[in-house]
Structure 1
Amino acid sequence: MGALQGWKLGWIGVGRMGTPLCRRLLDAGATLSVADLDPARTAHLAAEGARPNATAAALAEEADILLSMVTNDAALLAVAIGPGGVAETIRPGQVFIDLSTVSPATSARVAEAMAERGADYLRCPVSGSTTMAAAGTLTLFASGPAAALDRCEPLLATLGKETLRCGSAEEARAVKLMVNMVVALTPAIIGEALAFGSRLGLDWEGMVDALNRSTVASPLLAYKADMLKARDWTPAADVDLVAKDVDLALSIAQREGVPMPFSALARQFAAACQATGEGGLDFFRVATWPERLLAPNPR
């Protein structure tokens, strides 16, 4: 018997990350209903045992726990408090879990709406790739009512390898943005090092191996090493998505008076990719911008 046998779940947003996570819930035995802002996107999961619904409100009528993973603040507001959204039908005793990367301010608006309906609201943004989502090895940053987190622990354990409890309100949103600042900076500094080594005659693949086996190695670099070697920018997370996250962090930093010169620079590298029509490529495409800035080798 699966770990979630008998659980009645609803999932909103079946995109690049949502789809493999839904499959994990189905494999764990959950009864799963799904919805998306584009209803046509639910067809592939319907063929695998999920029940499609037209709206988030319809999901809330039949599921005990609702989950969403959407692209940005506007999408979360649409599925949570817009027409046909969760807030129309969610009831006391139900839980709404959002796994998206959004601003604390928008998340707080959703929290207020859920509180008015008497439902619990958990903020659980995730860290990891689509491959990690399929394997169940994501890290989840969670904040919200402790009792609701306790209740949902088996569900969260199905979605990821680790759930870090961050607080009772919007703390998980801040943690996720903090992590994504480092994620966005990583290809920029790696690209600068590779451009430097290339000018000195080093082999591209050898440089990637050297970084990946040194003290600066990281799980992120290990995951992206083959992509870097092959210069294959098939997206797991694209430039546009990471740029959105950095924009959120920079906007909050401006309001709070926090200087973030390195994040601003990383954002400009992403903007350069977007300006050349590469926003849909994997965000590690940014690693090629430092070499593009070099003049031809004068030697």
Structure 2
Amino acid sequence: MTALEGWKLGWIGVGRMGTPLCRRLLDAGATLSATDTDPVRLAPLAGAGMGAAVTAAALAEEAEIVLSMVPNDAALLAVTIGPGGVAETIRPGQVFIDLSTVSPAASARVAEAMAARGADYLRCPVSGSTSTAAAGALTIFASGPEAALERCAPLLAVLGNETLRCGAAEEARAVKLMVNLVVALTPAVIGEALAFGARLGLDWEGMVDALSRSVVASPLLAYKAEMLKARDWTPAADLDLVAKDLDLALSVGGREGAPMPLAALARQFAAAYQASGEGGLDFFRLATWPERLLAPNPR
């Protein structure tokens, strides 16, 4: 028997991350239907046995657990409390799980709507990329009712290799934004170090190897090392997405009085690339920011 045989699931948002995650659920034996603002995205998964629904409300009528992976606050609110949203039909005994990166404030509005319907709500934003999603190697930050987390643990284990329980309400949202701040700043810091080494005559690939094997090595750098060496900016997560996450974190930080000068600087670097039409490139393109400021090395 496969891990999720007999589980009846609904999925909202079959995009860059949603597609590999849906494949994992199908491979684990779940009965799965999905909806998306662009129905064309559903077609590749139809051959794997995934059904289609017109609205999120239609999914919630049939599925025991509904999951969503959408791009921003507006999209989450639309598929939950908007017309045809989950809140129209979800009922006691069902669970709504959102895996998106959104603000605590928007998530709290969803929590109110789910509570009014008597359904459980799990906030489960994920950390990882399209490749880690396909491999089931995401880290999931989870908050919500403990009983619902226990019930959904086998499902979350199919999507990620680690689930960190963060609290009972919006704590997981805050943790995800905190992690994304470090993610967004990483290529900016690495870029400065690489530019420093280049001015001293060091080889680009050798510098990347040195960073990757030193005390500053990290899973993120390991994942991006070959991209850096090749200067191949084919996106796993693009600059536009990271800019959106920085905007979200800066907005929350501003409301809470948190000083964030480094995040603001990283956002301006991202804005420069967006202005030159490079927002669709991988966000590690930010590692080349000094090249736009520095004259060629006179040596």
Report the TM-score range of the alignment, normalised by the length of the smaller protein: over 0.9
SS at match of 2:255: helix
**1:119-134 equivalence runs, <5 A:** 119-134=119-134
Does residue 41 of structure 1 match 2:41? yes
Cross-structure match for 2:16: 16
Does residue 65 of structure 1 match 2:77? no
1:234 CA displacement:
0.7
Contact 1:26 1:49 in 2 (8 A): yes
Q: Summarize deviations over 1:119-138 as a string: whole Å, max 9, x none.
A: 00000000011110011110
1:298 CA displacement:
2.6
Q: CA RMSD in A?
A: 0.7
Cross-structure match for 2:156: 156
Aligned partner letter, 1:192:
E
1:256 CA displacement:
1.1
Aligned partner letter, 1:107:
S
Cross-structure match for 1:189: 189
Cross-structure match for 2:298: 298
SS at match of 1:152: helix
Aligned residues: 299
1:169 CA displacement:
0.3
Aligned partner letter, 1:62:
E
Cross-structure match for 1:84: 84
Q: Summarize deviations over 1:253-291 as a string: whole Å, max 9, x none.
A: 111111111111111111111111111111001111112
Aligned equivalents of 1:52 and 1:227: distance in 2? 36
Aligned equivalents of 2:29 and 2:102: distance in 1? 29
Aligned partner letter, 1:89:
T
SS at match of 1:67: strand
Aligned partner letter, 2:114:
M
Structure 1: 5+ residue stretches without partners = none
Aligned equivalents of 2:268 and 2:231: distance in 1? 21
Aligned equivalents of 1:247 and 1:67: distance in 2? 25
Cross-structure match for 2:271: 271
Aligned equivalents of 1:32 and 1:244: distance in 2? 30
Aligned equivalents of 1:6 and 1:290: distance in 2? 54
Cross-structure match for 2:214: 214
SS at match of 2:198: helix
1:198 CA displacement:
1.1
User: Could you tell me the TM-score, scaled by structure 1's length?
Assistant: 0.99
Cross-structure match for 2:237: 237
SS at match of 1:96: strand
Aligned equivalents of 1:205 and 1:168: distance in 2? 45
Aligned equivalents of 1:221 and 1:144: distance in 2? 31
Cross-structure match for 2:178: 178
Cross-structure match for 1:115: 115
Aligned equivalents of 1:35 and 1:106: distance in 2? 21
Cross-structure match for 2:100: 100
Q: Summarize deviations over 1:128-163 as a string: whole Å, max 9, x none.
A: 111100111100000000000010000000100000
Q: Summarize deviations over 1:42-101 as a string: whole Å, max 9, x none.
A: 111112110011111111111000000000011111111111111111111100000000
Aligned equivalents of 1:216 and 1:270: distance in 2? 23
Structure 2: 5+ residue stretches without partners = none
Aligned partner letter, 1:49:
G
Cross-structure match for 1:201: 201
Give the fraction of aligned pairs with identical amino acids, expressed as a percent. Answer: 84
1:296 CA displacement:
2.3
1:293 CA displacement:
1.0
Contact 1:12 1:34 in 2 (8 A): yes
SS at match of 1:111: helix
Aligned equivalents of 2:181 and 2:123: distance in 1? 19
1:241 CA displacement:
0.6
Aligned equivalents of 1:197 and 1:292: distance in 2? 16
Aligned equivalents of 1:276 and 1:40: distance in 2? 30
Aligned partner letter, 2:56:
A
Aligned partner letter, 2:168:
S
Contact 1:192 1:291 in 2 (8 A): no
Aligned equivalents of 2:192 and 2:101: distance in 1? 28
